[in-house]
Chains A and B, each alone.
Chain A
Amino acid sequence: MITYEWLYILAGGFFAVWALLSLRDRRWGNGAFWGLLAASFLFGSHIGDFANGVLVLAMVAIAGLGLLKRSDPPTTTPEERLNFSELFGNRLFLPALIVPLTAVVGTLLYNYTPFGETGLFEARRETLILFGVGVVVALVAAIVWLRPPALAPAEEGRRLLDSIGWAAILPQMLAALGAVFALAGVGEVIGALAGQVIPENSVLVSVIVYCFGMALFTMIMGNAFAAFPVMAAAIGIPLLVEGFDGNPAVIGAVGMLAGFCGTLLTPMAANFNIVPAALLELDDQNGVIRQQVWTAIPLWVCNVAIIYVAGFWLWN
């Protein structure tokens, strides 16, 4: 049976290659950071909780000290890229399409045809495992088709990875924070508090408070990812899912999107809202946000309605 462990060994291999290329490039911080992440993928299941915890602290220390730098591995020039793009045309999109196609079609086949009875994949893990399969197929297809220099796929990947930097593990770290919140009983405490505050156990009011909290915390923190474990632990899980028997998939997915409405409204999300105002030389630093206000507010209302209707009405 194919499990996540296989996927972790694959990913560990990728990160190990990136770590080695970083070391070769004399970017020691990057080498150490991606090396530790590779170790987590390759050995995390065997070294025990405490060693994993120390590994996390070491990675955070490297990032916190600012030792992670962007890199500029050798690549093609803009002129070469323009020529290639004319040569290859829209077929350039095809390898990228292999990945979602493999995962979605594979998942559907696995769940709705006898293929699923083979028990090839670990239960509920098939989509992400098939994503890994899709990546390998797409990579092989692209290499066979484009015939790049041997190291080019790894170096191009490193270029993108280093432009993301430590933010690459932020979602994983936030999910870990959610787990620590759950362990510490944060949800129970807030659930008890909210039970006293929200009038007459109203589902609608609770949904509004949840979505409002997602948008508000996202605006304050500039990041819906960070708001999510907080609001899920505070209201989403203890109140909406456990208290009112809501559909967890809708509450999770659409709650995050209510947070994205907050991202449209805050200067804290500088990359999306402030940087483009500067790039476009707008007089008003908040000019982009102003154009987003009347999309964000009605869309937020839509999200409340979707959670209320699909998460509760249709669900029960």
Chain B
Amino acid sequence: MNYWPLLGIALVVIGFALQFNPLLVVVGAAVATGLLAGLDIVAVVEALGRAFNDNRYISVTWIILPVIGLLERYGLQQRARSLIESVRGATMGKLLVLYLGFRQITAALGMKDIGGHPQAVRPLVAPMAEAAATKSHGALPEAERQKVLAMSAATDNVGLFFGEDIFFAIASILLIQGVFEAAGYPLTPLQLSVWAIPTAICAFLIHGGRILAMDRRMGRLTPPASGEERA
């Protein structure tokens, strides 16, 4: 058996790990794999061209950008902000759990750019979480304060990652479809995206539970005695 085509897999891993331009890495790996499998260079270029052409539907999803961009022009981000701000006064735990759910649901509906670190976490979610924690637990030791900020960013990531795949017209779902179709298993986007729901529920329960546990643990830390702080 010819084991050389496996080198293509190694090339992808190494290329990404070394942070070369990912498009160069992918095409380099594709060409190397084809050549090592015994195809000549023209056949490799043809195979790459056909494969790219057959998977055009994955990039069709970008046609949604004018809709999102237009809504942003008229204040979509600002509206999302004031929705988040409307829970001011909630405890830190409740605030972040609500944000987690908000992020998962909007991402599942295809609005994955509604949150994000520069747009929402840094200006809004993290300061609100910090203020809420200070309000319930008094001034926080610096290490605890930083944990609240880090947890806010973590909540944004978890909400995005485990919400977005429920939306069928997203690159990751269509990539799965493309890879399986090329291997002879035609699937539809909805068939795939419904299977993101169980994991989304698990993510909400696990991460939401951890947020509430963190809030309770901070309650036990106070009154402010930095000596009690645990790593």
In the complex, A56 has a CB within 8 A of chain B? yes
Shortest distance from the beta carbon of A61 to any chain B beta carbon, whole Å: 9
Evaluate whether A14 and B75 lie within 8 angstroms (CB atoms) in the complex, with A54-B45, A230-B12, A230-B13 already known. Answer: no
Q: How far is the CA of A20 from the CA of B4 in the complex (A)?
A: 44
Q: How far is the CA of A253 from the CA of B169 in the complex (A)?
A: 13
CB <8 Å contact, B71 and A249:
no
A81 in complex: contacting residue of B24, B75, B167, B199, CB < 8 Å? B75
Q: How far is the CA of A7 from the CA of B149 in the complex (A)?
A: 43
In the complex, A93 has a CB within 8 A of chain B? yes
Shortest distance from the beta carbon of B71 to any chain A beta carbon, whole Å: 6
- Interface positions, chain B 88-116, Cβ under 8 Å from A, are 109-111, 113
> Can you name the residue of chain A whose Cβ is closest to the Cβ of B154?
A291
Total number of residue pairs linking A and B with CB closer than 8 Å = 472
In the complex, A113 has a CB within 8 A of chain B? no
In the complex, B188 has a CB within 8 A of chain A? yes
B51 in complex: contacting residue of A48, A176, A254, CB < 8 Å? A176
Q: How far is the CA of A226 from the CA of B10 in the complex (A)?
A: 12
In the complex, B210 has a CB within 8 A of chain A? yes
Q: How far is the CA of A177 from the CA of B12 in the complex (A)?
A: 10
B147: which A residues are within 8 A, CB to CB?
287, 291
CB <8 Å contact, B187 and A180:
no
Evaluate whether A302 and B199 lie within 8 angstroms (CB atoms) in the complex, with A173-B52, A181-B33 already known. Answer: yes
CB <8 Å contact, A176 and B30:
yes
Which one of A76, A155, A248 has the highest number of Cβ atoms from chain B below 10 Å of its Cβ? A248
Which one of B49, B193, B207 has the highest number of Cβ atoms from chain A below 10 Å of its Cβ? B49
B67: which A residues are within 8 A, CB to CB?
95-96, 99, 135, 138-139, 142, 153
A149-187, CB under 8 A of B: which get 1 and which 0?
Answer: 000111111011100101111111111111111111111
A216-228, CB under 8 A of B: which get 1 and which 0?
Answer: 0100111111101
Q: How far is the CA of A96 from the CA of B154 in the complex (A)?
A: 26
> Can you name the residue of chain B whose Cβ is closest to the Cβ of A226?
B16
In the complex, A197 has a CB within 8 A of chain B? no
CB <8 Å contact, B73 and A220:
no
- Interface positions, chain B 210-231, Cβ under 8 Å from A, are 210
CB <8 Å contact, A226 and B56:
no
Evaluate whether A299 and B206 lie within 8 angstroms (CB atoms) in the complex, with A128-B169, A186-B9, A254-B199 already known. Answer: yes
Q: How far is the CA of A180 from the CA of B158 in the complex (A)?
A: 32
In the complex, A252 has a CB within 8 A of chain B? yes
**Consensus secondary structure, chain B interface:** helix
A172 in complex: contacting residue of B3, B39, B58, B78, CB < 8 Å? B58
A123-138, CB under 8 A of B: which get 1 and which 0?
Answer: 0100110011001001
Evaluate whether A84 and B58 lie within 8 angstroms (CB atoms) in the complex, with A189-B2, A253-B196 already known. Answer: no
CB <8 Å contact, B55 and A179:
yes
CB <8 Å contact, A306 and B37:
no
CB <8 Å contact, B58 and A175:
yes
Shortest distance from the beta carbon of A85 to any chain B beta carbon, whole Å: 3
A142: which B residues are within 8 A, CB to CB?
67, 70-71
CB <8 Å contact, B34 and A184:
yes
A294: which B residues are within 8 A, CB to CB?
210
CB <8 Å contact, A10 and B63:
yes
| Count of B interface residues, CB-CB < 8 Å | 121
Evaluate whether A257 and B109 lie within 8 angstroms (CB atoms) in the complex, with A184-B34, A283-B146 already known. Answer: no
Q: How far is the CA of A76 from the CA of B16 in the complex (A)?
A: 37
- Interface positions, chain A 221-254, Cβ under 8 Å from B, are 221-226, 228-230, 232-234, 237, 241, 248-250, 252-254
A171 in complex: contacting residue of B49, B58, B117, B195, CB < 8 Å? B58
Evaluate whether A257 and B157 lie within 8 angstroms (CB atoms) in the complex, with A44-B53, A152-B73, A233-B9 already known. Answer: no
B117: which A residues are within 8 A, CB to CB?
271-272, 275-276, 279
CB <8 Å contact, B59 and A171:
yes
Which one of A186, A280, A306 has the highest number of Cβ atoms from chain B below 10 Å of its Cβ? A280
A292: which B residues are within 8 A, CB to CB?
154, 157-158
CB <8 Å contact, B60 and A253:
no
- Interface positions, chain B 10-36, Cβ under 8 Å from A, are 12-13, 16-17, 19, 21-27, 29-30, 33-34, 36
> Can you name the residue of chain B whose Cβ is closest to the Cβ of A291?
B154
Shortest distance from the beta carbon of B177 to any chain A beta carbon, whole Å: 8
Contacts A41-B56, A184-B33 aside, 13 further interface pairs with beta carbons under 8 A come to A7-B60, A14-B63, A78-B78, A169-B59, A173-B27, A177-B33, A178-B183, A180-B48, A184-B8, A222-B17, A254-B199, A280-B149, A288-B150
Question: Residues of B at under 8 Å CB distance from A?
Answer: 1-3, 5-6, 8-9, 12-13, 16-17, 19, 21-27, 29-30, 33-34, 36-37, 39, 42, 44-79, 82-83, 109-111, 113, 117-118, 121-122, 126, 146-147, 149-154, 156-158, 161-162, 165, 167-169, 171-180, 182-183, 185-193, 195-196, 198-199, 202-203, 206-207, 210
6 cross-chain CB contacts under 8 A: A53-B52, A96-B67, A96-B110, A161-B65, A167-B22, A189-B3
